[in-house]
Structure 1
């Protein structure tokens, strides 16, 4: 009996040692995929800074469009086309940046993207026509496409395999906080500083220079193994991760489409409701929208992914209901509530989607997976607001916003029902 017990103990110890060795080997493999040993936590925060800096640029032009419309002269339809050039650049970038980043490394993608962002600052600051605005927005979109794929994956690489939850949270919050900070800075500086359409881009250029320095020092290495297949392709995920991607897109896409509408046509709505062209007010509304997107992610981070995604879909639906009420009642307070709900919807959809991908996709394919999530989100975010912009020129902003709100309400409802009908892979903590 004693010998049997001793044999059982020895077997258990050996199995435990084997599992430990296997886990250690897996950890070393993850370290090789992620670019080296785990970095200090402060480096994880700093790795998210380039994402924030580029997203400051992404929406910095929003409060300035009323000035360019006055000085250059173009319609709401043209305004949404300018916005759409950003989407075109972003989607084109996503077709290549994720794959290239996974194969040659994060830095070779991020550094050229930051260079394009600096060029966009120069063009914005000196723009005298629609063509210049189109080029600047195109360059901005390309830079953003690179940071949402390579930049967000770099945050996960620096965090290491044991801190995927905090990596998803910081990468997602870096994106939405930068997206909100840009229009706030632009609105304030354009009102109180000389050069209303130039000063903010000088400040933003300084922020981008610090982001370049952060990327140069970032503790990530080039991947040791190169993937197979075309370098330019519609980004996707490994076999078996399609459900996670679809769930993320189902909620993230309606959420970011709602915030895109507020960014592109929100100043026009405020002008109609408030009879004011204050850039500070327009910038502040965008800022609080993305501040809500940032804060809600910290609030819900410990909930299950399924709960986060469901709440994101509900928030986007409520945002569309309040948008319709706002434009028919001419209520600024209800419009701001709609913006806050839209921000919360995007934030939760984004966090849930990134968390699903971080948990299930290997590091060597993570940048491409991030690109796939954003392609799924930004396609409707580009198409619907542009369509509504032209529709509003024909039938009026109130009816155009009503049609948009009704359509997106239905899309968000379908996304929420899809999440509730799915249990596998979305019930673990984010």
Structure 2
């Protein structure tokens, strides 16, 4: 008689393979939603010309995405940890599909603003419930791998979206409807995945009392370390997404949606690649590298502005992507390894709230400063402030993570 299969953490070897397949399927939802989140990037200059709004209004439209994201993060993690991932994921994906329709038919600032708000809602769902679902699917033995996959899925989608939109805007006479039709198909496939997500509920079945997202006291330092480096990194990439195309067109004289989209794509693909390169590094070292990359990005931004040197702007985008990717990976690794399953979605929410607050406020302030004093002065001020914050946050997070 043959011996029974040896199980690992309650799973057979075939069960582990199934867990791996579920992990990749869950990650595909993250990629789909983040494709939508950055697809408008190469189109902002076109919409700005058609609808006639200022740089300040442009950054407010961009920041409404962050407002929707932050508002959703306040509740999505708690709902996901209490009721399960699926009941939260499905409405989030429906919000993304509604945003697609609004972008495809936008003929007013209000439609653009509502589309950005709903896309932020969908991202708020996916970075809490969706990324937690990836880690759930990985099982106990694959927490580090699942955290890496969740992080990579996010930045992969964030890069593919503007790459596709920029290429379509460069080659098609009327690109907007086809761009978002493709996005809708991708999101419908993600909705099919969400319908197959297994139940995952908190051990307690008591009534839910909504509050600010909660992280156990023993894990708060882990989340704060991630915020200290992820925050500056994602603020740098938000600047590139919101104002990079305008900077190319107005300051550097380059009017190319495909270049704007490719620059955003390269920024996020750099974030993907660097995470694979450093995945075995100690977390403290990852945090320090994140801060250094963001600081280099800001120095390159200043060079691009004052030397009117387009390659320096591209270098700034690549290092901004590296800074975000490293800070995000370090934060997710600490959460995945240390935060209990029933608090993980809320911890993901807090990490992203802490990162996206400066990512919304600083670019909006810079947008209005551009209207007041010009692109060169405002961009330089932004770079100096963010570079300083990044270096200070990275030094602190590196010390704390080394001693945690």
Query: Where on the TM-score scale, by shorter chain, does this alignment land: which range?
Result: over 0.9
Alignment of 1:262-273 (within 5 A): 262-273=240-251
Report the alpha carbon displacement of residue 228 of structure 1 after superposing the two structures with TM: 7.2
Say yes or no: does 1:279 pair with 2:265: no
Report the alpha carbon displacement of residue 273 of structure 1 after superposing the two structures with TM: 4.1
Report the alpha carbon displacement of residue 194 of structure 1 after superposing the two structures with TM: 4.7
Partner SS, residue 195 of structure 2: helix
Cα 1:81/1:372, change in 2 over 3 Å: same
Report the alpha carbon displacement of residue 110 of structure 1 after superposing the two structures with TM: 0.5
1:39 touches 1:159 (CA, 8 Å); kept in 2?
Answer: no
Report the alpha carbon displacement of residue 306 of structure 1 after superposing the two structures with TM: 0.7
Equivalent residue, structure 2, for 1:175: 154
Cα 1:70/1:101, change in 2 over 3 Å: same
Say yes or no: does 1:416 pair with 2:394: yes
Which has the higher Rg, Structure 1 or Structure 2? 1
Q: Which segment drifts farther, 43-52 or 343-352? A: 43-52
Q: Which segment drifts farther, 312-321 or 218-227? A: 218-227
TM-score (norm 1): 0.89
Say yes or no: does 1:155 pair with 2:134: yes
1:388 touches 1:404 (CA, 8 Å); kept in 2?
Answer: yes
Report the alpha carbon displacement of residue 227 of structure 1 after superposing the two structures with TM: 6.8
**Distance across 2 between alignment mates of 1:176 and 1:308:** 17
**Distance across 2 between alignment mates of 1:298 and 1:314:** 18
**Distance across 1 between alignment mates of 2:370 and 2:28:** 37
Partner SS, residue 217 of structure 1: coil
Report the alpha carbon displacement of residue 93 of structure 1 after superposing the two structures with TM: 0.3
Report the alpha carbon displacement of residue 241 of structure 1 after superposing the two structures with TM: 0.6
Equivalent residue, structure 2, for 1:134: 113
2:69 touches 2:124 (CA, 8 Å); kept in 1?
Answer: yes
2:69 touches 2:120 (CA, 8 Å); kept in 1?
Answer: yes
1:38 touches 1:158 (CA, 8 Å); kept in 2?
Answer: no
Unaligned segments of structure 1, at least 5 residues: 1-23
Alignment of 1:20-419 (within 5 A): 39-226=18-205, 230-231=209-210, 233-419=211-397
Report the alpha carbon displacement of residue 421 of structure 1 after superposing the two structures with TM: 2.5
**Distance across 2 between alignment mates of 1:60 and 1:382:** 18
Cα 1:239/1:38, change in 2 over 3 Å: farther
Partner SS, residue 421 of structure 1: helix
**Distance across 2 between alignment mates of 1:235 and 1:62:** 30
**Distance across 1 between alignment mates of 2:309 and 2:222:** 39
2:103 touches 2:180 (CA, 8 Å); kept in 1?
Answer: yes
Report the alpha carbon displacement of residue 37 of structure 1 after superposing the two structures with TM: 8.2
1:85 touches 1:138 (CA, 8 Å); kept in 2?
Answer: yes
Q: Which segment drifts farther, 385-394 or 209-218? A: 209-218
**Distance across 2 between alignment mates of 1:158 and 1:61:** 31
Report the alpha carbon displacement of residue 119 of structure 1 after superposing the two structures with TM: 0.4
Q: Which segment drifts farther, 273-282 or 215-224? A: 215-224
**Distance across 2 between alignment mates of 1:269 and 1:319:** 15
Report the alpha carbon displacement of residue 135 of structure 1 after superposing the two structures with TM: 0.4
**Distance across 2 between alignment mates of 1:114 and 1:295:** 27
2:295 touches 2:391 (CA, 8 Å); kept in 1?
Answer: yes
1:39 touches 1:160 (CA, 8 Å); kept in 2?
Answer: no
Partner SS, residue 176 of structure 2: coil
**Distance across 2 between alignment mates of 1:91 and 1:113:** 14
2:225 touches 2:401 (CA, 8 Å); kept in 1?
Answer: no
Partner SS, residue 400 of structure 2: coil
1:158 touches 1:220 (CA, 8 Å); kept in 2?
Answer: no
Q: Which segment drifts farther, 264-273 or 290-299? A: 264-273
Report the alpha carbon displacement of residue 134 of structure 1 after superposing the two structures with TM: 0.5
Report the alpha carbon displacement of residue 240 of structure 1 after superposing the two structures with TM: 0.7
Cα 1:367/1:226, change in 2 over 3 Å: farther
Cα 1:293/1:423, change in 2 over 3 Å: closer
2:30 touches 2:131 (CA, 8 Å); kept in 1?
Answer: yes
**Distance across 1 between alignment mates of 2:328 and 2:401:** 19
Report the alpha carbon displacement of residue 407 of structure 1 after superposing the two structures with TM: 0.5
Cα 1:399/1:226, change in 2 over 3 Å: farther
**Distance across 2 between alignment mates of 1:178 and 1:227:** 36
Cα 1:321/1:226, change in 2 over 3 Å: farther
